[in-house]
Amino acid sequence: MLTNAMAIRSDEPELRALMLAALAGDASSHKVLLTRLSALLRSYFRTQFGRMGRAAADAEDLVQEALISIHTRRHTYDPSQLLTPWVYAIARYRLVDYLRRTKSLRATVPIEDAETVTTDDARAATDSRIDLNVLLAQLSPKARLAIQFVKLDGLSVNEAATRLEMSPSAIKVSVHRGLKALSSLVRQRNRT
């Protein structure tokens, strides 16, 4: 933990500057920030999973949950404070929430099967079990199209508004609600 804490402190100013730019609406800073944070989160969750004897590959599910949380709750960051304690508090919350959600299910897995459950996972290290298309299909049509156009196809809000015959602000609301709904779907998906 000590080495971890030292690593955080050294790149804290850089990460914080990226966060402030991202909060101001700079998409490229946001992307760099999330990429850097995903590495921090990955090593945090893998360490924690290692300690608990869980498969490190499952950690990627949590990395993605935490990234979505960081993104959708970024208004709760106080710019006058350090960024990394905020990030780690969210990561810890996501971990505790994940353990609570999976506890009852884990308890039903017999010991001899636990070995196979935790080792049969051969998927790539930065891939999660979430299939975005399956999740998108569960959203309302409006939210699905808004996310498809604005977040996946990269259309501007105005372009998406014209195509969907909605006002730009309605598009923004749909994207926002859609992301919230996606994050709860991801958590449900990660229950198993």
Name the site residues for other proteins (rule: CB under 8 A): 22-25, 27-28, 30-31, 34-35, 38, 60, 63-64, 67-69, 71, 73-79, 81-82, 85-90, 92-93, 97, 124, 126-128, 130-132, 147, 150-152, 154-157, 172, 175, 179
- What does the alpha-carbon distance between residue 166 and residue 163 come to, in Å, rounded to a whole number? 8
CB of 147 to other proteins, least distance (A): 8
Q: In terms of CB distance, is 116 or 133 closer to other proteins?
A: 133
CB of 52 to other proteins, least distance (A): 20
Q: In terms of CB distance, is 116 or 126 closer to other proteins?
A: 126
Give the DSSP letter string of 148-192: IIIIIS---HHHHHHHHT--HHHHHHHHHHHHHHHHHHHHHHTT-
CB of 115 to other proteins, least distance (A): 27
Residue closest to 19 by CA, chosen among 9, 10, 29, 5:
29
Q: In terms of CB distance, is 105 or 114 closer to other proteins?
A: 105
- What does the alpha-carbon distance between residue 58 and residue 48 come to, in Å, rounded to a whole number? 11
Cα dist from 102 to 10, 152, 166, whole Å: 34, 30, 40
Please calculate the CA angle 111-117-118 and round it to the nearest 5 degrees. 95
CB of 133 to other proteins, least distance (A): 9
Q: In terms of CB distance, is 88 or 170 closer to other proteins?
A: 88
